Amino acid sequence: MEYDYIVVGAGAAGCVIASRLSEDPAVRVLLVEAGGSDRSLIVDMPAALPFVYASKRLGWHYQAGPEPYLDGRSIDEKRGRVIGGSTTINAMIYNRGNPLDYEGWAGMGLKEWSYAHCLPYFRRLETFSGGADQWRGGDGPMRIKRCEADHKLYDCFLRSGEQLGFPVTKDHNGYQQEGLHIAQAYIHEGKRWSAARGYLDPAAQRSNLHICTDSLVERILLDGDMAIGIQYLQNGRQLTAHASKEVILCAGAFNSPKLLMLSGIGDADELRQHGIDVLAHSPQIGKNLENHPGVNLQYATERANSLVSELGPVGQVKLGLNWLLRKKGLGTTNFFEAGAFLRSSDRFDYPNVQFEFLPLTRQLKNGRLVAIPGFQFWLDLSRPKSRGRVRLQSADPAAAPNIVFNHYAEADDMRDMIDSVRLARRIIAQRAWDSVRGEELAPGAHAQTDKELEAFIRVNTGTSYHPSGTCRMGIDADAVVDSYGRVHGVSHLRVVDASIMPRIVTGNLSACIYMMAEKISDHIRGKTALAPSSAPWFNSATGRKAS
């Protein structure tokens, strides 16, 4: 099989790249995905998110650990193995990141990744329910909805933040991110709007785009230092496909470095340990792993005050029928309809902690996650200092990679997490909660000292499923790829996904990945980049307007 481009991985980046490249009818594109179809009611229904997470068919089911700073625990790391990738199984939350994230990238020498250069591509990818303006798009493939947030506990959350002195920002993906906000989500007409819906479905019927599912890519084929194709396994048969122009890895922060290493590109000593011939020594592949570590704070409330009152046996039947027949009601929500980007202390000149508010709470009972009357905050660190790594467990392509995050290896991260828990408690202490606030369930009123809070954090830390940085983009000698994802030391090979982020962004990663793929797809096609934006933005570091 001969193609111009082979794209590995049908997640956010892969769907964008395959769709944009195949817009040229003279170009032949192969998109290869390890998983299968995304057609499923539990995928389409936003409220069915817990069932999607639990599905054995839809995910890779990777574990990170043992984590040396979490008492040797392992952490579940959910990644989509399905058409649409992780956009098919994620919580559908749309956050672009803070403008200072992209200004930071530009400050690392990646001038074309400043906020002014990225904003036009954010606008191009989206159709926002709030309408187009100088920050927001109105005719892009991804449908973005401002959540309704009409339950009274969402209002308690927003009002309590105001009472503590924080702003409620009108559009946290517009002029100002910092503050509390009503959330935005990849939901359209009551259904999940994934990368497959936005990019792949409109392109799937093109004769020059071949989509190959249930196909595990085992390695990249190289001729000397040039990528020429892939070897993959489909239905028990080992097959090859060749690319005359490029092989483009869009397999994510775990699987893109894994594939490079399986192909002989990586740290020479580590590759030799697995009997892999070294074709290109690139020791930073798999290093620099970042994520957003976090914990849940949980509170009890009267049943009538919590969404649990609407989710009993009768309520669940009503929810399902209302969604199936009308695409209305609670079936259309991911429940994360309010959030915040705040600073846990005055030491920061940017929002260093993200909150996601849920008007119910869940606890593990008899091995099952059960909703109980209450509410909870998920809070995570937006820019932790600790770094992890991804390595091979073996030379077997079917083996999961060896992942360690090293959360809290840097003591500052634990300090920031403790401060963030205290900040959440200050928000809950405001008078807006007086009529609904019950007992603190986690960590519990007994945990007051730094030592007690640290113990709670080490036992309960999970992640927001935002791995990045393992094939870092940069202009320095240690960078894995250049400013357009081209792998150093190997021609005709590119990486486009969260692994190339030079620094993790302040928020959920999918919006940034779509933007990066849109921007790089223009470069691959030889198109002139969109003109930089002159839209102003709120600079958290100075407290003033920037442009």
Q: Is 523 assigned a catalytic role? A: no
From the list 466, 488, 492, 523, the catalytic residue is 466
The string over 222-249, giving b where at least 16 C-beta atoms fall within 10 Å of a residue's C-beta and e elsewhere, is beeeebbbbbbbeeeeeeebebebbbbb
Amino acid at 46: P
**DSSP state, 532?**
P
- Beta-bridged to residue 495, according to DSSP, are 249
Find out whether 354 and 340 touch, Cβ atoms under 8 Å: yes
Distances (CA, A) of 125 to 109, 110, 111, 156: 25, 22, 21, 33
Enter the tokens of residue 327: 């695409």
How many helices (H) and strands (E) the chain has is answered by 14, 29
Length of the chain equals 547
Strand, helix or coil for residue 211:
strand
| Cis bond before residue 502 (omega within 30° of 0) | no
Question: At 348, phi and psi to the nearest 5?
Answer: -100, 145
What is the rounded distance in angstroms from the CA atom of residue 118 to the CA atom of residue 516?
A: 8
Sign, CA dihedral 30-247-226-217, equals negative
For the chain, the maximum distance between any two Cα atoms, rounded to a whole number of angstroms, is: 70
Q: Are 151 and 311 in contact (CB under 8 A)?
A: no
Residues annotated as catalytic are: 466
